[in-house]
Structure 1
Amino acid sequence: MLTKFKGKKITGILGILPENEYDYDEETKEFADRQTKRLKRIMGYGKRRAVKPETATSDLCIYGLNYILKNNWINKEEIGGIVVVTLTPDYFVPHVSNIIQGECDLPKDVVCMDIAQGCSAYLMGLMQAFMLLEHMENKKVLVFTGDVLNRKAKTDKEMQAQFGGDAASVTVVENDEQAKDIYFNMYSDGKDRDCLIMPAGGYRLPRSAETAEFKDYLGDGILRCKNHIWMEGSKVFNFVQKEVPPMIEEILQYAGVSANDADWFLFHQPNKFMMEKLADKMQVPYEKMPMNIVGEFGNSSGSTIPINITYNVANDLLENERVCCLSGFGSGLTWSSALVHLGKLHFCELVTSTC
């Protein structure tokens, strides 16, 4: 899908991190020292954030929205829609968006919508929000991303060395006739869905004592249980290197800009190694593509792009308008990108949740 939106604008971004911080060296001290040091150097592992056992996705999202409301960056009456993109809803029913609407006492005419999406979550949420704005002349739409995947994994000793991180974000989008066009492209390939999958937990295979057993299911010597995400690393790496560079070239051409014209390449960040290889292949200078999020906070799935923005370029985007290329890629398989003039934001901040 290749499309563009007119008269739409991102006006504020908030990233939300949990308090609990874990150190890679401490978590891997019982494993082979040589290999863990090699992984740290190559993949960029360092610290990560994980929620408390009782914290759910909605808790991070509600904390973020209340923070925005408390600072008077928006008011409740301006909100026309809520789009939540997550792989870890509080419940199958009700939806996280409805929980947020109720807990924050928002008007009953607010459109509430949940989307299940992983690494492309942020761009999927933005696209849906822009479509809603076509029917909301004087309202704003809030895009939430959030996942708490690491709360599940931490209880298993075999999964002590988790390198993912929990996080959430809130982005405010609104109509603005003076805004520059925003360009999107999105792709999917469900034939390769199994190379990034959580086998158990849905209705096809409910969780059970059997799915919690660790076995060498793939014959590669790695113990896995079906309650956790499985990733065939080489397949995912090859997929990213094959599909993402031509997608970025396409979106730049569609928007009528060159790679040199782009000020920032703000991508989903699985690990530093993959980001360096992408930058090399696209001939993008490392200083234009921040790749430190995994080392600071862990891979937070659909929230890595807004965490990247609020951590690395917040001050720049508060003062200046920049040409930004955003991209998410992963589970589905899906890969997506957007070319947006981003800046002069009302707020752009990274906060730590106390919930």
Structure 2
Amino acid sequence: MTAHLPTLADIGDATLTARLQHLIDHKTKPLGSLGRLEQLALRLGQILGTEEPRLEQPQMVVFAGDHGLAARGVSAYPSDVTWQMVENFLAGGAAVSVLARQHGLALTVVDCGVAKAFAPREAVPGQPRLLLRKVAPGTQDASQGPAMTAAQCAQALAHGVEVVRGLPGNVLLLGEMGIGNTSVASLLLARLAGVGLDECTGAGTGLDDAGIARKRAVLRQALEANAGAVAPLDALAALGGFEVATLVGAVLQAAAERRVIVVDGFITSAAVLVASRLQPLVLQRCVFAHRSGERGHAAMLGVMQVEPLLDLGLRLGEGSGAALAWPLLVSACAILREMASFASAGVAERA
């Protein structure tokens, strides 16, 4: 399957990197004493291409969609929870709504393929907004064949590109909602990275041991039913969800625009995995917020050879982990811009 997707340039500027490292090393502190905050400051300076990085108009975007696979009992919750949670996001009652409000993150919800028709919502300053980019009211059951057609997958990718093009600022925080989408993440990890389903598949929204066993059996059927879908976009169409495909397009566009991409948990990481198989330089622009408590996420992060900022046992999704990690990005930029050097402060350096 082909799609018109953004291409990326390498942002690995050795001269800028050396200048940033010199600045960090000569702040008024013992060398390396701010630990991984120093690595984060370096990454943010590299992404934004400056020694004085500023995070402007951060955008939290939650991509929502339903999954035909959910009818097979792969989640502890019914599919109706997807649209109900979209309403909860917009009403301000969800975890990501609270955290976005707390940290001043603009919140947008995108209907990528929810099995309910939403009325258009007028944008209200300071309130969450809803974008209607529905490809269809949920995907097909991937255990019986492809979840999406190639055309549907390409449409979802294009929607992701379009959504990001319309957003202000230089930071994109990724969120998602879709009952059954931990199954999608597990399938994509298994297919694209060869990780066994036992390692990929966990409790999702709270399955018991019998439920996890049933989920694994359904996922094996999905892999077998789509055995020929091995290239990244083919696997995405066969196994993915509309919200995951829209996320892939959004990630690629944000990376092309050199935005900071703050990756949440298992499902958003699956979208980044697909995007990085299409454009490996995507990973240069990403900050991984946390290591989820969902089984499979640690393996997924290992496949991409990335280290997250937090490990709090989270497995909610929605973008909640990305929002919780946000203050660390703000602090890293402030340290780089505002912390004095030994020379400017008149403090003696180590002999």
Give the TM interval when normalised to the shorter protein. Answer: under 0.3
Q: TM-score, normalised by structure 1?
A: 0.27
Q: Comparing both structures, which one devotes a greater share of its residues to helix?
A: 2
Q: Comparing both structures, which one devotes a greater share of its residues to strand?
A: 1
Q: TM-score, normalised by structure 2?
A: 0.27
